[in-house]
Structure 1
Amino acid sequence: MTTIPLVVDSAWLHERLDDPNLRLLDATTFLSIPNKDGETPGLWSGQDAFDEEHIPNAVFADILKNFSDRNAALPMTIPSREQFVEEIEKLGVGEDTYVVIYDRGALANADVIASYWASRLRWQLKYEGFDNVAILDGGLVKWKLDGYPTTTDKTSYPKGTFNFTRRPELVVNKDQVRKAIDDDSVVLINSLSPADFYGETNTYPRKGHIPTSFNVFFGSHSNPETHLLWDDEKLSKVFSEIGALDTEKTVITYCGGGIAATWNALLLNKLGQENVAIYDGSMNEWAADPSCPLVTGRE
């Protein structure tokens, strides 16, 4: 089977909607972030939104319910191998298939262009050994802007056979991040907003960022007018400036809960950097542990 690109556009997908080997997954999830008054953040499934409107032949991949550890202390933690395989096979993903994933956008209450829920599921597939997967550039918003149809019709795929091998090196834990702080062979990337990075918000139990990490905001990679990613030359600039495209180095990306970090990981892979791991616990875990160092301020 032909290997597909990591990112595809609406026209590319539209031409292949009836391909029997395609598995089109809607990964929409909604997140509200605390406002200046410190309201409680919310996290909810995109199932209802999917039922109201989706791309033809798509099925819903419920990241919150089915592709996160149901017993974990932290939200959105990667599930067990067994849980993942069971759920992804129900969606028809397996041998002789390729996957395109899309969502409705990054946040429910912020104007950010990034399909980071789609990239989260794409990263999980890669983690579990499946590579033939792409993200729809601009997601459902761009699909509709391009004049392509949506539907409320329900569809399903035959059960898949998922015989692939997990890649444990694609996820790191808190202790590995501790060691990475003083390791020149590792580039740490904080994917959150500059305000979060510099400790100017109250989003997490403690403010700031992991020492020696660089800030590459996940929401800065797309053109707000076209809703498409910037070209590779422009995308490369920010990552190359911090040494993240040096293939002799390892890159660890983190954010609040391991979601936005996967958007940066996707783009690094797109630009040729394969040595990328996600800190799945991210700031939800790190900031809750007083023994984990954080730094603040703009220098």
Structure 2
Amino acid sequence: MFQHIVEADWLKEHMQNTNVRIVDCRFYLGEKEKGYKEYEEEHITGAVYADLERHLSGMVEKHGGRHPLPRLADFIHFIENIGISKEMTVVAYDSQAGAMASRFWWMMKYIGHEKVYVLNGGFPNWKRHSYPVSSEKPAVAAKSYEPSVQPSMLASMDEVKQRLSDASMLLIDSREEKRFAGVEEPIDQVAGHIPGAINKFWREALDEKGMWKDKEELNKRFLEANNHQQMIVYCGSGVTACPNVLALTELGFKNVKLYAGSWSDWISYEGNLIAAEAD
């Protein structure tokens, strides 16, 4: 039984509730307009749209990575405009095995929202059930939102750097093994990983259909976490690290931080150490 992930059956049963807001987070890194076009064609009935780069990221600068967190005021303004209040139950989904939806989930948790969930299996699983879809954009009334920011959920570059030799901290790299190893780097300018990190490719938390593995299997993936007091999770730009943060949270770990700038931020600082298995 998951605490932060809901099943399609549950959403189907509750989707008419005016206190439930469904958020479509589909986004494709190589085709930035594709996710919104898919939303326009069909989406879960009643869903609003959140764009990774326009709504869930800020302006790219020298430091901060490829998908820096947006300014708090900008994100609050966005969720108010899509009709989210603190009392609402929010369910996020995508077609990317939960990567984008998990980023939205993390951001909502970061501002103190309690009832926010990721839809298990996302839009593909919803379609497999033949549950209601629509091309109509819902009319939603703007709400007021007073955030309660949780700074303990976020790790800065300085914190990561200062704690590299801290045995109580487990640093988790969520990228594919070949990127972690420095064998291949298709996106960022420098290959490798942050020294001391272990590799847990985020996609391995889910099965081939994009459904979350059960807690027993997730526990096996993160056995090392039991030996550490805190975890800091990163990826390339702070997006696909979020499914690992979600998985660890599901397993009951309390001290899990996201290094939001991630690898693309780390390499923007001259002098930061870099490791590669090819060394």
Look up the match of 2:236.
256
Look up the match of 2:57.
68
Q: Which amino acid aligns with 2:277?
A: G
Look up the match of 2:214.
231
Look up the match of 1:12.
10
How far did 1:55 drift?
0.4
Instruction: Sort the Cα spacing of 1:57 and 1:245 in 2 relative to 1 into closer, same or farther, 3 A.
Output: farther
Q: Which amino acid aligns with 1:134?
A: Y
Instruction: Sort the Cα spacing of 1:164 and 1:250 in 2 relative to 1 into closer, same or farther, 3 A.
Output: same
How far did 1:298 drift?
6.5
Instruction: Sort the Cα spacing of 1:81 and 1:10 in 2 relative to 1 into closer, same or farther, 3 A.
Output: same
CA distance in 1: counterparts of 2:12 and 2:226, whole angstroms: 32
How far did 1:49 drift?
1.5
Instruction: Sort the Cα spacing of 1:91 and 1:11 in 2 relative to 1 into closer, same or farther, 3 A.
Output: same
Q: Given the alignment of the two structures, is residue 48 of structure 1 paired with residue 37 of structure 2, yes or no?
A: yes
Q: Which amino acid aligns with 1:88?
A: I
Look up the match of 2:256.
276
CA distance in 1: counterparts of 2:118 and 2:200, whole angstroms: 20
Asked if the contact 1:53/1:150 (under 8 Å) is kept, the reply is: yes
Q: Given the alignment of the two structures, is residue 83 of structure 1 paired with residue 57 of structure 2, yes or no?
A: no
Q: Which amino acid aligns with 1:86?
A: H
How far did 1:71 drift?
5.8
Q: Which amino acid aligns with 1:25?
A: V
Note the alpha carbon deviations across 1:80-117, whole angstroms, 9 max, x for none. 11111111111111132110000111xxxxxxxx2110
Mapping of residues 22-33 of structure 1, within 5 Å: 22-32=20-30
Secondary structure at 1:30 match in 2: coil
Instruction: Sort the Cα spacing of 1:95 and 1:296 in 2 relative to 1 into closer, same or farther, 3 A.
Output: closer
CA distance in 2: counterparts of 1:44 and 1:220, whole angstroms: 27
Normalised by the length of structure 2, the TM-score is: 0.93
Root mean square deviation of aligned Cα: 1.8
Secondary structure at 2:133 match in 1: coil
Secondary structure at 1:18 match in 2: coil
Asked if the contact 2:183/2:278 (under 8 Å) is kept, the reply is: no
Q: Which has the higher contact order (CA 8 A, sep 6+)?
A: 2
How far did 1:16 drift?
0.6
Note the alpha carbon deviations across 1:239-263, whole angstroms, 9 max, x for none. 12x2x245x6111000000000111
Number of matched residues?
275
Asked if the contact 2:175/2:200 (under 8 Å) is kept, the reply is: yes
Q: Which amino acid aligns with 2:43?
A: H
How far did 1:134 drift?
0.4
Secondary structure at 1:63 match in 2: coil
Asked if the contact 2:43/2:134 (under 8 Å) is kept, the reply is: yes
Q: Given the alignment of the two structures, is residue 100 of structure 1 paired with residue 91 of structure 2, yes or no?
A: yes
Note the alpha carbon deviations across 1:135-168, whole angstroms, 9 max, x for none. 0011001111122132101103222221231111
Mapping of residues 1-299 of structure 1, within 5 Å: 5-32=3-30, 43-44=32-33, 46-70=35-59, 72-73=61-62, 74-105=65-96, 114-203=97-186, 204-224=188-208, 226-240=209-223, 242=224, 244-245=225-226, 249-297=229-277
CA distance in 2: counterparts of 1:281 and 1:45, whole angstroms: 24
Percent identical: 30
Instruction: Sort the Cα spacing of 1:165 and 1:183 in 2 relative to 1 into closer, same or farther, 3 A.
Output: same
Look up the match of 1:39.
none
Secondary structure at 1:78 match in 2: coil
Instruction: Sort the Cα spacing of 1:182 and 1:44 in 2 relative to 1 into closer, same or farther, 3 A.
Output: farther
Asked if the contact 1:181/1:211 (under 8 Å) is kept, the reply is: yes
Q: Which amino acid aligns with 2:22?
A: L
